[in-house]
Structure 1
Amino acid sequence: MNITGLISAIIVGVIIGGLGRLLLPGRQAIGIFMTLIVGIVAAIIGTAIAQSVGVATTRGIDWIELVFQIGLAMIGVALVESFRARRRHRRSPR
């Protein structure tokens, strides 16, 4: 992945994080900043997976790559929410 691909993955990651959170059912109690971080990480990992599978070098919009990225963002948002809910549950007095 070259620097242009990395920068575009970060920009797309901001959008991907929002879409991943939007498409995940229910309410997620994580902040916008954490959603953006999850989206950036999902975009970078999704791009790497798409390149390894061989679907990231098509003309136009890489729909399969976007599906990888959004799916990873949904998984990432769900994991962060799960970890945060578990931490909140431990801190609450019984």
Structure 2
Amino acid sequence: MDYNYPIRHDWSTAEMITVVAFYEAVEKAYESGISKEQLMEAYRGFKKVVPAMAEEKTLDKEFEEASGYVSYRVVKAAKEAADGEMIRGVQR
């Protein structure tokens, strides 16, 4: 990983950790796979820190530009997946 995660300096340390955990889950979905439950748990935590859709889109765009990974596609795949299913190989 040769990029920085999109974070805001007005977040608490715990909030930063929560957001980074979500983006790490997105990376895992692309690189090796992650269970639907793990991904959605990370996303729910992320949404507690970033409840506004506009801010989520801004952060996701920053993450995509830095990493090439699209968190929207991963979350969409997880929402459509059956319980217990692995999320992997999401198309970029």
In the superposition, the TM-score normalised over structure 2's length comes to 0.28
Normalized per residue, the structure richer in helix is: 1
Which structure has more relative contact order (CA 8 Å, sep 6+)? It is 2
Pick the structure with more strand per residue.
Answer: 2
Query: Whose Rg is larger?
Result: 1
